[in-house]
Amino acid sequence: MRLIQVRMAVVGVVTMAAAAAVGAQGPADRPAVDATAADRGRHVWASECINCHGAQARGTDNGPALVRSVLVLHDRIGSELGPFLKKGHQTQSGRPSTGLTDAQIVDLAHFLRQRVNETLRASPTFHAQEIVTGDPKAGAEYFNGAGRCTSCHAVTGNLSGVASRIPSPVDLQQRMLFPTAGRGGRAGGAGGAARALNPNAVTVTVTPSTGAPLSGVLIEMDDFYVTFRDASGTLHVVRRTPGLNIIKTDPLQAHHELLDRITDKNIHDLVAYLETLK
């Protein structure tokens, strides 16, 4: 009996350890920042990195922003940063990064993670900085030209007084880059009602090989099923088959595509221009 209990205890420990390992994966395993180590890392950053990557690691003309670096985002207190720097990376002091000690790399990792956390609006250390730094004239040119914004928007129509309606430049930029979409069942109404309340709701029309087409507000679509709610509020779950024709309509598709080509300068110029629309 004692042996059985011991075996069960061991199995329980292993199971709990496995569960903990699984739970530690993904976005929820964001590493904690040691503020003291980050302060030490700030000194290393100032002597080796600041000229190329900027005071807040947001990049300069000489180097990219590291707060958006995939390597930095995947790093776990030096797990990615250490091997990268050990391969050799020219620093502003003229010495190769291979000269950095393991302790300095860990401090740098804490500093960079602190900078990443400060970009999160949910972070207690987040402080919105002045973002209206662009050229309104260049923003107007992009709005009316390469940005193709006038295909959906008009400064005397749906954008009239937008800077007064959204007084925070941070919120205005957020709405411009990531406008709110809508899906059936999340807007508090049936398909048709949800679409009427939220003109940005994604809709879908499915047409089987035989039979009439069905349309509604999209709830979910994967490789196997399409789920949507029609105008009467009826929920449909349709299995995807080779003969099924699917037409998805996303009113915000142009915004999604804009993210693939817009530059930081375009963003700042557009925000500066939109801020003039009081």
Does residue 48 sit in helix, strand or coil?
A: helix
Tell me the H-state helices in 134-217. Answer: 136-144, 162-165, 169-177, 191-197
Distance CA 89, CA 96 (A): 6
Query: Which tens digit of pLDDT belongs to each residue from 6-57?
Result: 333 333 433 334 334 434 444 456 788 999 999 999 999 999 899 889 888 8
Supply the pLDDT for residue 125.
62
* Same structural domain, 35 and 103: yes
* Same structural domain, 235 and 112: no
Domain of residue 37 covers 30-117
Pairing relationship of beta strands 225-229 and 214-221 according to DSSP bridges = antiparallel
245 belongs to a structural domain: yes
End-to-end CA distance of the chain: 79
Q: How many residues does the chain have?
A: 278
* Same structural domain, 97 and 43: yes
| Angle of helix 264-274 versus helix 169-177 axis, rounded to 10 | 120
Query: Which tens digit of pLDDT belongs to each residue from 189-231?
Result: 444 444 445 788 899 999 998 889 999 999 999 999 999 999 8
* Same structural domain, 171 and 264: yes
Maximum distance among all Cα pairs of the chain, rounded to whole angstroms: 82
* Same structural domain, 240 and 264: no
* Same structural domain, 84 and 195: no
Distance CA 205, CA 223 (A): 16
Residue 100 sits in a domain whose CATH number is 1.10.760.10
* Same structural domain, 149 and 199: no
Does residue 210 sit in helix, strand or coil?
A: coil
* Same structural domain, 225 and 140: no
* Same structural domain, 89 and 215: no
